[in-house]
Structure 1
């Protein structure tokens, strides 16, 4: 049965995601109660033809997004990596939206030799609270590294610039966008290789009333069409320009 013909149809999705994630997601200056970006734009293209309205909320932090997803106050997370812990309360939709390489960002002039995760031992890192970079790295970091969770990535970069931490863990695309917007792009470098490259997904909280087999199936079918057309790549170009030119 096609979505829309079944009983109990969900006509509105309350959505949120990581507000520190431009050009995929960010809090616009002219409407700080919501989030905009390539991922919300893709989401609307997927679900509005199904007769579903999308309401994207800014919840203030990624940690709060995950909390409200766990309690069922959200209907969809617009962009999350898979972890065992998150799979206890989220249903991830295949295929992924895109893949996200995560880099080590250091203040220019404070570069250090890096090839393997073990090269980070004894150094101080910073990233967003509750950020995941793939389960293998997360486990290694928990056992062997010192990485502080910070509320905003801007604060993490400023701490690195002041020498309070040695590096910042942040995704490649988002790092370039954030630093360009802050006017700090020439003051940081990203070290290679990436620490990980993880698929990013839409995910339905299991406690959401909108999380039904019919909607997940229709959603996945339309997402597969969009990813097959590489629609996210064109949206990323468009929203990178919007983010960097936002007043």
Structure 2
């Protein structure tokens, strides 16, 4: 169980039930995790593999700093392992949780979502696809990363109505697109942009039309976290609402797209002496 630091006298203050008491008893530190392979939202820090970096990490730090809470964003393994660490209470919060009803018995999802991940149709620039709506994709062969987290409704639609294969990752999906092995790729707006530029195919592929899916990425607090109380949930919801109104997420996302692209570039070899 993660160690917690509580304000002095908090238990007595909570018993008294005053507003000052509630403020004094708030949790001062959150241990957080998320997906280690979901750039630009979150990914493992190559300079410090124990931690995660990304747009969601930056936004969470912005929110919790305003709340007077420190956060430690740790890499806890693959997506399923990170979820289990939070469900068990060994970690307090998941920073990129897709909303699934079967997790409501273990997690409190904070609304509104931290991000909306807009999935677009990516095609080759010279492709002659006639797509006016998502149903038109049925006649074409597509690919999506096995790590993609589409909404449950779209997953059901894709399973029953689309020729959509799962690639090992987004790199493989885009490679299949460039090679003509598939007609389109479903990928997030920012992840697709960074991938195309990182692979050097930004002039060969392009997104088309409006988003076909917009799953939310939520902050989710474990029911077993010692920090899960009405004050924390209320303050997170308040700050998330303010964030969505401000439009500040866009700049943070763009900055992390550039950050990820820079990390994807090969390190130049040292000249021979």
Bucket of the pairwise TM-score, normalised by the shorter protein: 0.7 to 0.9
What is the aligned counterpart of 2:228 among 205, 211, 224? 211
Aligned with 1:162 (options 162, 169, 179): 179
Q: How many residues align?
A: 245
Task: Note the alpha carbon deviations across 1:194-232, whole angstroms, 9 max, x for none.
Answer: 212344322223344433333212222233333333332
Distance 1:147 1:33, change over 3 A: farther
Which of 112, 125, 129 is the aligned partner of 1:112?
129
Report which structure shows greater RCO (CA 8 Å, sep ≥6). Answer: 1
Q: Which runs of 5+ in 1 are unaligned?
A: none
How far, CA to CA, are the matches of 1:225 and 1:105 in structure 2?
A: 32
1:103 CA displacement: 0.6
Q: Which 5+ residue runs of structure 2 have no aligned equivalent?
A: 1-18, 266-273
The equivalences for 1:1-247 within 5 A come to: 1=19, 4-6=23-25, 9=27, 11-17=29-35, 19-22=37-40, 24-121=41-138, 123-129=140-146, 131-246=148-263
Q: Matched residue of 1:97: which SS?
A: strand
TM-score (norm 2): 0.75
Q: SS state of the match for residue 96, structure 1?
A: strand
Alpha-carbon separation, structure 2, partners of 1:52 and 1:215: 10
Structure 1 or 2, whichever has the larger Rg, is 2
2:203 is paired with a residue of what secondary structure?
A: helix
In structure 2, what is the Cα distance between the partners aligned to 1:207 and 1:123?
46
Instruction: Quote how far apart the aligned CAs of 1:171 are.
Output: 1.0
Q: SS where residue 95 of structure 1 aligns?
A: strand
Q: Is the partner of 1:210 in helix, strand or coil?
A: coil
- Classify the secondary structure of the residue corresponding to 1:82: coil
- How much is the aligned-residue C-alpha RMSD, in angstroms? 2.9
Could you tell me how far apart the structure 2 residues matched to 1:239 and 1:199 are?
18
Render the CA deviation track for 1:112-157: whole Å, top value 9, x for unaligned. Answer: 2222232222544332335333233122112223433344211221
Q: Structure 1 length normalisation: TM-score?
A: 0.81
